[in-house]
Chains A and B, each alone.
Chain A
């Protein structure tokens, strides 16, 4: 379908509008993170990094930050490992109904997080398990697993089957062949999957909010800070988190696009 000049210009405009709507609040936040006023009001008074210094020095975010880093790392490792196993099986099994199983694995992507959070909370309550970061770990693994499976499945499908078969024919067990042939061939995809799932887990709020009690993550800390009254350090923290996530996201994307195999 040919797109003529006018609709193309309209599409361009639409695209720019969408980008602006997404990024404008972030830009505003970033600008105000340098404002010396205690309140987020105009006129904008330029010129301080005080809020950035406070984020790191006054310690109110350190517990949340530490928890989030640990949690996101654990979630990313788990999801990448399970995701690899799932993806490998999906690519290599000859079982009927593979498409259906694939859909089933990927379906959680479409389920609203609120539902995931609530149902997991109720489920664990029924089992008599108290909310904690451990439950958040499980919940977030469920949440990011489809991403891991999807990414790794695409990569594994690109590896010629003959490489593994050659390895078997030369005497390797199936597990050994995976370690010697498949894993090295998807090392960048694995790293990218780790980073991507880490980013998603690090930013995730809903599941964490429902499944933890006393140990809080950074997004929960930010939220509670916001509801109890505005604190200018939030702007600085938000900007930091945004840049952090964006960097990781771009890194993951770059890794995915990189060819593991010549």
Chain B
């Protein structure tokens, strides 16, 4: 198959007075797996629906490959979409569901059935062609929905909360399956999810959305390790955000004097004015307990199987979360504990919102 790029320029969506999506740019490379991640109501689904052509664009242009598709109907955009509830037609057999798109293109039944049988075998569902969607399990339904979308050989596949309708166990299993499928067929995938773990494990790149804006775009690693804003830091996993005073910047590292964690050498992209206030994000697992550094009081220590979660309090009463490996001793509540923040483990946040 031939993967296509997707480019959005100044795309926005108004519902009456409400700006569901504020003018934004986004480009997705051919063959890339991009996930739009954000809390409900952040505009991610609206954005996906605009790319699909199910929602009109209020402003801006959308192109797929070299073609401007802004005013084209859904079926002429070289895009397929898989819905959260899969939207299988309940009164049509699995075969007729998969062949529906081809039928709309005027492909005759013998050919449709052949193509559908081929996709069923690819999906490991060879025997299921005559079943009705109601007779399938959640995972099987998803594969039928994928087959129905992919049989049209689109350049781009859109997935709306692809695993949202499944239970936790199946979800983890299918995360891997989707990722593998993406690798095998090499299409451009654009998915929407509110589940950060799903986004981290499946995507090549994540766009974190908030209030109709893209807050940050980057690889899962960048998003996790180098969040740009407090929102991103807190939305993706757990995170400590501490305030401090900016010190010397050497082009990559900023010295920050914090009240709670002492002097930190944090990653920064630009130099704030010396002495100005900055926020620094540091992940619980990046802080090293039982080391030289700031002294904190243990409020609570919880053994969590693979790790020990420490709930610490600073002198000024703010809370610091630390995750230590299971090899470390479990401290007693009320005990004093010194922690160390390694160089570049923390990230200076942009002072927005």
Q: Out of B80, B84, B85, B89, name the residue touching A180 (CB < 8 Å).
A: B89
Question: Which partner residue on chain B sits nearest A261 by CB separation?
Answer: B90
A97 to B221, CA, bound (A): 49
Given known A-B contacts A160-B85, A165-B83, A170-B152, A185 and B101 have beta carbons under 8 A apart: no
- Contact between B83 and A184, CB atoms less than 8 A apart: no
The smallest beta-carbon distance between A159 and chain B, in angstroms, is 10
Given known A-B contacts A162-B83, A162-B84, A262-B134, A170 and B91 have beta carbons under 8 A apart: no
List CB contacts (< 8 Å) of B22-57 with chain A: 52-54
- Contact between B105 and A184, CB atoms less than 8 A apart: no
A166 on the B face (CB < 8 A): yes
- Contact between A169 and B74, CB atoms less than 8 A apart: yes
A184 to B91, CA, bound (A): 7
Complex interface: chain B residues within 8 A of A170 (CB): 75, 80, 100-101, 104, 148, 152
B87 on the A face (CB < 8 A): yes
Given known A-B contacts A168-B54, A169-B80, A162 and B87 have beta carbons under 8 A apart: yes
- Contact between B89 and A181, CB atoms less than 8 A apart: yes
Which of B75, B79, B133, B148 has the most CB atoms of chain A within a 10 A radius of its CB?
B75
Question: Which partner residue on chain A sits nearest B81 by CB separation?
Answer: A169
A184 to B133, CA, bound (A): 15
Question: Which partner residue on chain B sits nearest A96 by CB separation?
Answer: B16
B73 on the A face (CB < 8 A): yes
Q: Out of A160, A163, A169, A180, name the residue touching B75 (CB < 8 Å).
A: A169
Complex interface: chain B residues within 8 A of A169 (CB): 52-54, 74-75, 79-81
The smallest beta-carbon distance between A125 and chain B, in angstroms, is 47
What secondary structure prevails in chain A residues at the interface with B?
Answer: helix
A165 to B148, CA, bound (A): 14
Given known A-B contacts A165-B54, A262-B134, A171 and B87 have beta carbons under 8 A apart: no
The smallest beta-carbon distance between B81 and chain A, in angstroms, is 5
List CB contacts (< 8 Å) of A160-188 with chain B: 160, 162-163, 165-172, 176, 180-181, 184-185
- Contact between A262 and B90, CB atoms less than 8 A apart: yes
Question: Which partner residue on chain A sits nearest B158 by CB separation?
Answer: A169
Given known A-B contacts A169-B74, A170-B75, A171-B75, A163 and B89 have beta carbons under 8 A apart: yes
Question: Which partner residue on chain A sits nearest B99 by CB separation?
Answer: A170
- Contact between A166 and B104, CB atoms less than 8 A apart: no
Question: Which partner residue on chain B sits nearest A176 by CB separation?
Answer: B104
Complex interface: chain A residues within 8 A of B84 (CB): 162
Which of A176, A180, A184 has the most CB atoms of chain B within a 10 A radius of its CB?
A180
Complex interface: chain B residues within 8 A of A261 (CB): 90-91
The smallest beta-carbon distance between A96 and chain B, in angstroms, is 9
Q: Out of A163, A165, A171, A184, name the residue touching B104 (CB < 8 Å).
A: A171
A181 to B91, CA, bound (A): 8
Complex interface: chain A residues within 8 A of B134 (CB): 262
List CB contacts (< 8 Å) of B72-117 with chain A: 73-75, 79-81, 83-85, 87-91, 100-101, 104-105
A184 to B75, CA, bound (A): 22
- Contact between B104 and A172, CB atoms less than 8 A apart: yes
Q: Could you list some 23 contacts between A and B, CB below 8 A?
A: A160-B87, A162-B85, A163-B90, A165-B81, A165-B83, A165-B87, A166-B83, A166-B148, A167-B100, A168-B73, A168-B75, A169-B79, A170-B80, A170-B101, A170-B152, A171-B101, A171-B104, A172-B75, A172-B104, A180-B100, A181-B89, A185-B91, A262-B133
Known: A165-B74, A261-B90; 11 extra A-B contacts, CB below 8 A, are A163-B89, A165-B87, A166-B83, A168-B74, A169-B53, A170-B152, A171-B101, A172-B75, A172-B100, A261-B91, A262-B133
Residues on A close to B: CB < 8 A?
160, 162-163, 165-172, 176, 180-181, 184-185, 261-262
